[in-house]
Amino acid sequence: MRPKKRWGQHFLTRPEIGVQVAEFAAIKPADIVVEIGAGTGILTEELAKRAKKVVAFEIDPDLIPALRERFSAAPNVEIVVGDFLKIGPERLKKLEKFKVVANIPYYLTTPLIFLLLDFIPGMETMVLTIQREVAERLAAKPDTREYGALTLSVGILARVELVKIIKKGAFRPPPKVESAVVRISPHLKPLLEPAEAQAFSKLVHSVFGQRRKTILNQLAKYLDISKIRTGEILAESGIDPIRRPETLSLEEYIQLTKTTAERREGTQPLPYI
């Protein structure tokens, strides 16, 4: 079967990698696993050996006959035809608990991750094969080039681990860049309340708009208040105003979000409250 460019298809050709990816998901016999992009079924087969049920989505109708033939004797595998972004959410709503394993087209990575994170706590973990560059951004540490708003926006909801680098030759056709496997595990307890999490996301996206600016300058601009007032907020949060946004940890951004939510400019609320 020839891979189709319009769907960003790169088929995994090495079964041993399928074994490793399945192991990263720590699948138990009672687990329900949702696979996004079954492809030729190499990973599906490993998931089926471990899980109670595998719901495998595949957008390419030309792949379905071979998939159904391959798993005709596997009663715990259900092949679902269609675009996961369109039909997947309704299906996930019917599942109380599930894990996600996916080798997804690079262009779908960010929207798919945030779609799945909306299903916490039902979504127990996801193991995704994605572009290495994006994986490194997701798992980045403070004060690195990769660290930014994406790191924090996912980090506030889940812990991200980069668990494996996959070379180009493991796929057909080989992609132009290397891939990586990330394991994303939702926090057992939310780090912020929903309203605070929304404020957190707006704040981090704003302050990372110009990475070379200080947190004092960026926060004052975002809140549209004086630098003196902003400095007070930073001091109360225990943050040096001359630091750059990329040096602040997740915990510091959480504290900054909470502090700004408690402060007012006169009688007017801050912009996002």
- The model's pLDDT over 27-36, given as tens digits with 9 standing for 90+, comes to 999 999 999 9
pTM summary value: 0.89
DSSP-assigned letter for residue 179 = E
Least confident residue range of 30-34, 52-56, 144-148, 267-271 = 267-271
Output the average pLDDT for the chain.
91
**pLDDT score of 171:** 85
- Domains within the chain, CATH numbers bracketed: 5-186 (3.40.50.150), 194-262 (1.10.8.100)
- Confidence class for position 71, pLDDT limits 50, 70, 90: very high
Using pLDDT thresholds of 50, 70 and 90, give the confidence band for residue 87.
Answer: very high
Predicted pLDDT at 225:
94
